[in-house]
Amino acid sequence: MRVLRLLAFVRLVIVPLALIQLLNERAEFPPGYETAAWTTLGIYAVGAALLLPLSFTERARRRAGALIGLVFDTLLSTALILVYSFEPGQPLRTLLFLVVLEAALLFRVAGGLAIALAGIPILVVAEIWRSREFGFEIQPESVVLRVAIAVVLGVVVGRLVAMEREQAALARARAHDAERLRDELGRRVDVLEASSRCARALGSSLELEQAFSAFIAELRGLVPFDRAAILLLENEGGRIMATAGAGSDSYYGPGARLELAGSILERVVEGETVYRDLLGGGRYAEEEGLLQLGLHSRVIAPLQLGTRTIGALSVARAERDAFGEDEVELVTLLGRFVAAAVQNIRTYEAERATVEELR
């Protein structure tokens, strides 16, 4: 913590300043008090030197170092208040405020309030000590005033520190969210670009075989698969337009028809992308054949022109639960992108068939 390091350096700076003050006031010390002052200064100098390395350790040790430093400063401040209790105004009693400030900076409101309340017995003892040793009149109002100031100081500074740390944490969270959003936007741009390439590949030719080959080449790099198929919806059922991969010729090959009733196409017609993480279970009859081909999971997404579903794009893999959320989303996006190209090929084939019939 930067505050902890700053306090460590401040302690070192105070040592020579305290030494100068002690040398200037040597003649004013009552008997025995000068020795106590030198002893206190020596302990303070050694403690300041030992606490400095703790401020540069790892976070867990710095936390312990902060607590040790706070206790050390509290004890040394108490000692200085007693050593200099012979002074009429005793300005060193204000050292308590500095310790409260330190506690509030390090431990927020709880720390500042704890040291402020701990100052009550310190100030009371100092008043009694001054009265017995030097005959000063005990001033309870002075104790109450200093404690009140210390409490207010601890609460206000502690709260300000807490607010600053909350704002810093919020700023870090926002920066993290912004970075995550930037990465997500970048990923989505890449996905859109890749999807667009697939759509362009499928639309590169009106000849189905050529267009589908180009599409499959792009699709393999985008969504690796073991089997892929494009289905067209027509006459209350589906027709396989093109397939690639496992069983492309032997099982539901091009031209094969699939009944709509009871098939997965019933859900796809409604515009729903269906992810089957584990095929089988008797839910859809066509999946038994896919299992025999060694396929265990698939995504089937609608080909949509506007709000109208004209077919489906099916991508299957041999592994169970093989598709992540991003890939399911990507296949869904591909279904929307390639729908227009599929419709163009479909229209071209229909027109060509009509021409052939007229001949």
Of the ranges 132-141, 210-219, 317-326, which one carries the lowest mean pLDDT score? Answer: 210-219
308-317 and 257-259: which strand pairing? unpaired
Considering the domain architecture, whether residues 242 and 308 belong to the same structural domain is answered as yes
The whole-number pLDDT of residue 60 equals 62
Confidence of residue 154 (pLDDT cuts 50, 70, 90): very high
Classify residue 189: in a domain, yes or no: no
* Residue 223 within any structural domain of the chain: yes
Predicted local confidence at residue 359, as pLDDT: 61
Indicate whether 114 and 151 sit together in one domain: yes
Query: What average pLDDT does range 72-101 have in this prediction?
Result: 86
Q: Are residues 237 and 147 in the same domain?
A: no
Amino acid occupying residue 299: V
pLDDT tier, 287 (very low <50, low <70, confident <90, very high otherwise):
confident
Mean pLDDT, range 311-335, rounded to an integer: 90
Structural domain ending residue among the three candidates 128, 159, 175: 175
Amino acid (one-letter) located at 189: V
- Verify that 231 and 351 share a domain, yes or no: yes
339, 255: one domain? yes
In a domain, 190, yes or no: no
Give 60 or 161, the one with higher predicted confidence.
161
109 closest CA partner among 166, 65, 60, 62: 166
pLDDT over 70 at 182, yes or no? yes
pLDDT tens-place string over residues 88-107: 876 677 888 999 999 999 99
253 in the same domain as 107: no
CA 320 to the chain's CA centroid = 31
Q: 231-249: per-residue pLDDT in tens?
A: 888 877 888 888 889 888 8
Same domain membership, residue 252 and residue 114: no
The total number of structural domains in the chain stands at 2
Is residue 252 located within the same domain as residue 165? Answer: no
Q: What pLDDT score does 1 carry?
A: 61
How many other CB atoms are found less than 10 A from the CB of residue 335? 26
| 170 and 234 within one domain | no
Are 20 and 164 in a shared domain?
yes
Co-location of 209 and 311 in the same domain: yes
Determine the Cα–Cα distance for residues 125 and 128; give it in Å rounded to an integer.
5
**182 occurs within a structural domain:** no
Helix or strand run (H / E) with residue 310: strand 308-317
Please state, for a pLDDT cut of 70, what percent of the chain lies above it.
Answer: 96
Query: Is there a domain that residue 256 lies in?
Result: yes
Q: How many helices (H) and strands (E) does the chain have?
A: 9, 6
CATH code for the domain of 314: 3.30.450.40
Amino acid at 172: R
The pTM of this model reads: 0.56
Regarding whether 354 and 303 lie in a shared domain, the answer is yes
How many of the other CB atoms lie within 10 Å of CB of 179? 10
Asked whether residue 161 is assigned to any structural domain, the reply reads yes
**Domain range holding 160?**
2-175
**Residue range 208-231: mean pLDDT, rounded:** 84
Q: Answer for the pair 4, 69: CB distance below 8 angstroms, yes or no.
A: yes
Share of the chain above pLDDT 90, in %: 27
